[in-house]
């Protein structure tokens, strides 16, 4: 069962792996990955797939709240939280 | 501008003479027998992955149906963005000379969505969702203009590789085949226009760019090519075809040597053009 911390760690690892710009120790859970151009609009497609894989549910891009992909915390809150909680409670 | 204007005028008259009514260009059967190929087997994204070999012919054909729905869906997403961008550019001063042709271009893309959407809605009851997300950013002088048409070219070249292989392929179910054919015939004009305008805009703007901007443009185009390809490997398709572990299938299919070779072949025409025009440095393909 994946906890909140596990999932944030996986997101962290994915972001570090998929760009050459930032080192693991520089990326925090509240680092703005869009504004700092760590992730560009094209990489978001891959990130979205990764989030879907992690959450086991589909993401409807048309219904996304602005800022959903701002940082690791917001990604977790928008896509993974419910699942993380449910699993924590099990 | 002269070469561009001449091409646009020539294409405009061809478009006028081949004007199609999208509501009569196709006959829509009530239902489609699924025991047919809707996508040519060699173009199915999983072909070349171990899982594909294990499927029965019936399962492969079922998969081919959902692959076709994905191919048509990704065309709709690309065309929506294209129509939006073309509408913005109508009668802009620097493109006023080709405005007449832009009307045809825009009109034809709208019709294409009638065909693609008609197929998906009728027979699949849906269009696959788009995973692209727009992020606003700042551009150098002319960069956005150039990228709009260069991206259009990439998107259209890849789709045309598929259309060309299915439009006259008697193996393919008739409605899907005909959509591929009609699309290819009109896209041939868009591709010709695309080459002229991409060449024109690059020559006009690139001289004003710093080395860094040019490198960013090159990097962006290659990532766009890769991102466009990723849409051809859709986990939703595999799920609809009744397969499991769909994200692993995406990875398998993307990394198989057969699919890498396929992507290189299908990208060749546009990458080669970019290299010859000095837009890309060398033949670096996904
Ligand atoms: Fe089209
Ligand atoms: Fe087109």
Which residues of chain A neighbour B129 with C-beta distances below 8 Å? 58, 60-62
CA distance linking residue B165 with residue B127, whole number of Å: 23
Instruction: Report ipTM (2 d.p.).
Output: 0.85
| Cβ-Cβ contacts under 8 Å, B131 against chain A | 44-45, 48-49, 59, 61
Q: How far is CA B252 from CA A58, B45, B91, B192, in A?
A: 20, 10, 46, 35
Q: Would you say B123 and B32 are in contact if contact means Cβ atoms under 8 Å apart?
A: yes
Q: Which residues of A touch B228 (CB under 8 A)?
A: none
Model confidence pLDDT, tens digit, residues B95-123: 999 999 999 999 999 999 999 999 999 99
Q: Quick one: pLDDT at residue B286? A: 46
Say whether pLDDT at A83 is over 70.
Answer: no
Q: How crowded is residue B277: how many other Cβ atoms within 10 Å of its Cβ?
A: 14
**Which residue of chain B is at minimal alpha-carbon distance from A64?**
B133
Q: How many CB pairs under 8 A join A and B?
A: 50
**Burial grade of B129 (CB within 10 A; 0-12, 13-18, 19 or more):** middle
Q: What is the rounded average pLDDT for all residues in chain A? A: 86
User: What is the average per-residue pLDDT within B185-208?
Assistant: 97
3-class state of residue B276 by DSSP: helix
Enclosing domain of residue A60:
1-14+43-90
Considering only the beta carbons, identify the residue of B230, B236, B247 that sits closest to A45: B230
> Does residue A69 belong to any structural domain of this protein?
yes
Question: Is B223's CB within 8 Å of A40's CB?
Answer: yes
**DSSP states of A57-77 as a string?**
S---GGGPPTTTTSSHHHHII
Average pLDDT, chain B: 95
Both tokens of residue B89?
């550019």
- Tell me whether residues A34 and B135 touch, CB distance under 8 A: yes
CA distance B239 to chain A (A): 12
Q: Choose the closest CB to B130 out of A40, A46, A61.
A: A61
Residue A38 is assigned to a structural domain of this protein:
no
Residue of A nearest to B234 (CA): A49
List all residues 6 or more positions away from B76 whose beta carbon is below 8 Å from its beta carbon. Answer: B113, B116, B117, B120, B127
Residues of A in contact with B130 (CB under 8 A): 61-62
Domain B2-20+52-276: CATH superfamily is Ribonucleotide Reductase, subunit A (1.10.620.20)
List, in order, residues 6 or more apart from A56 with CB less than 8 Å away: A83
**A52 neighbourhood in chain B, CB within 8 Å:** 235, 247
The whole-number average pLDDT for the span B129-156 is 93
- For residues A8-34, average pLDDT: 92
Mutate to test the interface with A, among B131, B215, B224, B238 (most CBs of A within 10 A): B131
Ligand nearest the Cα of residue B192 is 2
pTM of the model as a whole: 0.94
d(CA B46, CA A71): 33
Report, as an integer, the average pLDDT of B141-164. 97
Q: B236 to chain A: which residues are within 8 Å by CB? A: 58
Residue A88 has pLDDT above 60, yes or no: no
For range B131-138, the mean pLDDT: 85
CB contact under 8 A, B230 and A46: yes
By the 8 A CB rule, do B40 and B165 touch?
A: yes
Confidence check: pLDDT of A90 > 60: no
CA A49, A50, A53, A56 dihedral sign is: negative
pLDDT score of A19: 83
pLDDT tens digits, one per residue of A42-72: 888 899 999 999 988 888 888 888 789 999 9
Q: Is-contact B237 B70, C-beta < 8 A? A: yes
Ligand at shortest distance from the CA of B110: 1
* Residue in chain B lying closest to A42 (CA): B227
Ligand approaching nearest to the C-alpha of B191: 2
CB atoms within 10 A of CB B194: 22
To the nearest whole Å, the CA of A31 is away from the closest chain B CA by 17
In residues, how long is chain B?
286
Query: B224: distance to nearest CA of chain A, Å?
Result: 7
Q: What tokens were used for B258?
A: 């057969």
The distance of Cα B58 from the centroid of its chain, to the nearest Å, equals 28
User: Is residue A26 assigned to a domain?
Assistant: no
- How many independent structural domains does chain A possess? 1
């Amino acid at each position: 069962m994946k906890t909140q911390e596990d999932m944030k760690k996986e997101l962290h690892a994915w972001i570090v792996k998929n760009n050459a710009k930032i080192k693991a120790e520089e990326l925090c859970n509240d680092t703005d990955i869009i504004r700092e151009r760590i992730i560009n609009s094209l990489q978001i497609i891959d990130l979205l797939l990764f989030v879907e894989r992690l959450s086991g549910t589909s993401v409807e891009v048309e219904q996304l709240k602005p800022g959903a992909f701002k940082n690791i915390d917001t990604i977790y809150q928008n896509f993974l939280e419910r699942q993380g909680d449910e699993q924590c409670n099990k | 501008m002269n070469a561009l204007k001449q091409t646009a005028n020539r294409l405009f008259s061809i478009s006028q003479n081949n004007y199609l009514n999208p509501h009569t260009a196709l006959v829509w059967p009530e239902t489609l027998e699924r025991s047919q190929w809707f996508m040519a087997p060699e173009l199915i994204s999983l072909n070349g992955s171990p899982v594909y070999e294990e499927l029965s012919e019936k399962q492969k054909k079922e998969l081919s149906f959902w692959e076709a729905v994905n191919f048509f869906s990704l065309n709709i997403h690309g065309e929506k963005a294209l129509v939006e961008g073309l509408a913005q550019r109508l009668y802009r001063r620097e493109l006023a000379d080709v405005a007449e042709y832009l009307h045809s271009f825009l009109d034809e893309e709208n019709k294409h969505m009638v065909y693609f959407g008609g197929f998906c809605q009728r027979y699949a009851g849906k269009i696959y969702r788009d995973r692209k997300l727009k992020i606003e950013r700042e551009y150098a002088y002319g960069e956005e203009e150039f990228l709009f048409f260069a991206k259009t070219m990439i998107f259209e070249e890849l789709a045309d590789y598929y259309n060309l292989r299915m439009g006259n392929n008697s193996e393919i179910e008739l409605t899907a085949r005909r959509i591929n054919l009609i699309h290819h015939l009109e896209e041939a004009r868009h591709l010709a226009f695309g080459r002229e305008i991409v060449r024109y805009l690059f020559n006009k703007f690139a001289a004003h760019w710093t080395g860094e901007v040019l490198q960013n443009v090159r990097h962006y185009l290659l990532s766009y090519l890769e991102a466009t390809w990723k849409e051809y490997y859709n986990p939703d398709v595999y799920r609809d075809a009744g397969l499991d572990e769909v994200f692993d299938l995406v990875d398998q299919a993307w990394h198989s040597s057969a699919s890498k070779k396929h992507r290189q072949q299908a990208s060749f025409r546009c990458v080669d053009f970019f290299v010859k025009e000095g837009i890309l440095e060398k033949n670096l393909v996904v």
